Structures are given as structure tokens and as C-alpha cells.
Amino acid sequence: MKKNHVSIERLPLRPRGKSANARFGKLDIVLFIILLVYAIIIIFPFYNAFLISVSPEYVYNETPLLLWPRDLTIASYTSVFQNENLWSGFRITMVLLVLGTAYQMFFTIITGYALSRSNWFGKNFLMNMILVTMFFGGGLIPYYYLITSLNLHDKIWVMIIPGAIDTFNMLLMRNYFQSLPKELEESARIDGANDIQIFVKVYLPLALPMIATVGLFFAVGNWNSWYNAMLFIKTPSLWPLQFVLRNLIITGSSNIEGTITSPETYSQGLVMASIFFTIVPMMCFYPFLQRFFIKGIVVGAIKG
């Protein structure tokens, strides 16, 4: 640990008007332009995709680079909102989001806390056990067998239960708990608190930033998950949103021989509208949550 690290609570600002030039120099303008261009590069695909989602098909076919809206239409979005699969995908993903995130957070946090405490019976055993799994795995087929014998095929639980603990997030929690001063525990014990109270009343509240961060990571992971569904879920009403989206994007541009009841060939408009359907919820929540996780990940990584 560097000896002169500053506590993260006091983010010092560059002193204004003192030694640094108060007026904006050439360098500032250059920086401004570079960052502006960078931000535009990030935003532009969204803008362009949005334009496509509100343009009719022939406009897209005729203009490669859509810069301004032309002949706007909401036909794509109407189609999207009528697509039953997307809605059921949305419902399923919401369930995964709420149930799954809570479930994962619970187990990850208690494990992280346990491993952050020193010198208890079995700690090293557990730590080593986890360490080995970070490198070695049996692969997909035994996992498949496992799911079969647990009778989880084609059930929504197959997307929730196997995700109980994410090793990376658990380590983040562990590091965070470790970074909190030991004196807290000692003084709590002196005051007569037992283990449960120390955990719940002392450490948990202090770890809120990290908990929020980890919760966000899990939430985003659940929102974006599709792999387990592809392998184990047959019933279309149980498909999560990203999986439905992936099918839309791929079939929108494929041309399989010999098909009779091929699904409607979706134009790019529908694909883009579907993409926005899945992104917009995230875009709404994102700016507010951004504060939390920046704090959290910083502390978790630096103090680790």
C-alpha cells in the first residue's frame, strides 16, 4: 500500500487560480476537442441506430449513412411492441433481474465477508477450493449432465441457481471488507456484540457502496444473459430478452435453404428497434447509478 494514499472520501481538486493557469490554454482546447470527438464517437452509433429504427425500409436501403431523419415512421416500433416474444423476454428478464440479483448478492456477500475475516477454521480450505475453480473446469458436457440430474432443464431456475456466487465479485466484496479497519470489530466485541450483530450492524452498512456496485454488476449480468437459455431452455415463453434479440438479429439477415415457415425476414429497422427496446431501460437508470459504482470499484480495486 502506498504510504501517502489519500482516503477516497476527500477527492482533492486541482487548486484553482493558484499556481495553475486560471485561463484556458491551448492544451485545454485540444483536450476539449479530443474528448468531444470521443464522446461523439460513442454516441453516434446510438443516434444512427435510432434513426434507422424510425425510418422506413427503403430509406435505409437507399442511404448508407443516415444523418438526419427522413420520412419518419413508427412502423418498426409498432411491430416490436406487438412482438409477443420480446415482451415475454422482457418479463422473464425482469424476473431474473429481481430474483436473480437478490439471490446472487446474498450468497456473494456472505461469502465475501466470511473470507475477509482472518483465522477461522476452514478458511484456507475454502479459499483454496475457490482458487482451483478459477482455473480448472470440467467443460460444458458434465455441466450439462449436472443440469439434467438436477432436473433444471427448460425451467427458469436454470438461469438463476448456477449463478449463486461470482468469484470476481466475491473477491471485490472480500477486499472491501478487509479494507475496513479491524478496530471496528474489536470495539464492537468489547461492547458485547456477537458475530451476527457485528456483521449486520457494523460491517454491512459500511459496505453499502461496494454492495451497490456488486449489485449493479449482477443486475447488468442478468439483464444481458442468454447463453444458459440457448443451451437449456426450449420453451419460447421462457427465453430471456437478449436471447430473443440475438435470434432477431441473426435471422434478420440469414437465408436458410429449404425453409417453409421461415420467420418474417426482419429488416434492419426492426432489428434496431428491438435493440433500443432492450437498451432504453438501462439508459434511463444508468446516469443515476453511475455515482455508486465508480466509488465502489475504485475502492474495491485500489484497496485490494
Kindly state whether residue 280 participates in binding other proteins, applying the rule CB under 8 A: no
| DSSP-derived secondary structure letter, 121 | T
| Residue 61 vs residues 17, 48, 129, 161, 268: alpha-carbon distances, Å | 55, 14, 56, 45, 9
Size of the site for other proteins (CB under 8 A): 132
Nearest by Cα to 52 from 292, 252, 282, 300: 252
Task: Give the span between the Cα atoms of 171 and 168, in whole angstroms.
Answer: 5
Kindly state whether residue 181 participates in binding other proteins, applying the rule CB under 8 A: no
Kindly state whether residue 193 participates in binding other proteins, applying the rule CB under 8 A: no
End-to-end CA distance of the chain: 9
**Residue list 123-162, contact with other proteins (CB under 8 A):** 123-126, 128-149, 153-154, 162
Kindly state whether residue 121 participates in binding other proteins, applying the rule CB under 8 A: yes
Kindly state whether residue 82 participates in binding other proteins, applying the rule CB under 8 A: no
Min separation Cβ 183 and other proteins, Å: 19
The stretch near other proteins (CB under 8 A) out of 20-28, 68-76, 92-100, 176-184 is 20-28
Comparing CB distances to other proteins, the nearer of 124 and 187 is 124
Kindly state whether residue 31 participates in binding other proteins, applying the rule CB under 8 A: yes
Comparing CB distances to other proteins, the nearer of 154 and 187 is 154
Comparing CB distances to other proteins, the nearer of 159 and 275 is 275
**Residue list 206-235, contact with other proteins (CB under 8 A):** 220, 223-224, 226, 230-231, 234-235
Which residue of 80, 210, 242, 273 would you call a contact of other proteins, by CB under 8 A?
Answer: 242
Min separation Cβ 141 and other proteins, Å: 5
Which residue of 75, 79, 117, 178 would you call a contact of other proteins, by CB under 8 A?
Answer: 117
Kindly state whether residue 286 participates in binding other proteins, applying the rule CB under 8 A: yes
Q: Three-state DSSP class for 260?
A: coil
Kindly state whether residue 258 participates in binding other proteins, applying the rule CB under 8 A: yes
Task: Give the span between the Cα atoms of 58 and 76, in whole angstroms.
Answer: 13
Please say whether the beta carbons of 193 and 202 come within 8 A. Answer: yes
Min separation Cβ 267 and other proteins, Å: 8
Angle at 243 between CA 241 and CA 249, to 5 degrees: 105
Task: Give the span between the Cα atoms of 2 and 125, in whole angstroms.
Answer: 30
Angle at 7 between CA 3 and CA 8, to 5 degrees: 130
| Cα of 251 vs its chain's centroid, Å | 26
